[in-house]
Copies of this chain bind each other. A is one copy, B any other.
Amino acid sequence: MSIGQVADRTGLSIHTLRFYEHEGILANPVHRDLGGRRVYSEDDVEWLTLCTVLRASGMPLPAIRQYTELVRQGAGNEEQRLTVLRHHHERVTAQMGRLSKSLDLISYKIRVYEDIVGHGAPGDRCNAPSRPPDADRADPG
């Protein structure tokens, strides 16, 4: 599979694929054809797909590289892989917690503004926000 095809399949750009390889993010070094062009295997694509999931969940490239190296070393270091994965699991759950808390505040603010906008505008304005409106003021006082 050529780099262009892999770019299409993974959603990563050609630039990014080369960049990842340079950063040591590929489990086995990519094969080359006679002309020196990259030839990707199905496994490479699978691995890259995993990497995009890890990236999408905020794992930094150094951590992915570390995990990649463990996998490259082969069996015997599963404990270490677990450590990396658990660390990331924690990072993601923490981030989801933060997001969820933020979302509460954002939702609350939306309700407040909906209530403000609702007064005078057509539509249902029967369900008041659960707390008194304290939307943002430019000049409080």
Interface residues of A (CB under 8 A from B): 27-28, 43, 47, 50, 53-54, 56-58, 71-75, 78-79, 81-82, 85-86, 88-89, 92-93, 95-96, 98-103, 105-107, 109-110, 113-114, 116-117, 135-140
Q: Which of B78, B95, B107, B138 contacts A89 (CB 8 A)?
A: B107
Q: How often does this chain occur in the complex, in copies?
A: 2
The residue on B at minimum CB distance from A47 is B136
Inter-chain contact B109/A85, CB cutoff 8 Å: yes
Report the 3 A-B pairs with minimum CB-CB distance, sorted nearest first.
Answer: A57-B102, A71-B136, A74-B138
Inter-chain contact B82/A137, CB cutoff 8 Å: no
The complex places the Cα of A96 from the Cα of B56 at a distance, in Å, of 11
The complex places the Cα of A137 from the Cα of B70 at a distance, in Å, of 10
Given that A96-B99, A113-B78 are contacting pairs, would A136 and B57 also be in contact in the complex, using a CB cutoff of 8 Å? no
When distances are taken between beta carbons in the complex, the residues of chain B under 8 Å from A109 are: 85
When distances are taken between beta carbons in the complex, the residues of chain B under 8 Å from A136 are: 27, 47, 50, 71, 81
Interface residues of A, dominant DSSP: helix
The complex places the Cα of A113 from the Cα of B28 at a distance, in Å, of 20
When distances are taken between beta carbons in the complex, the residues of chain B under 8 Å from A138 are: 27-28, 71-75
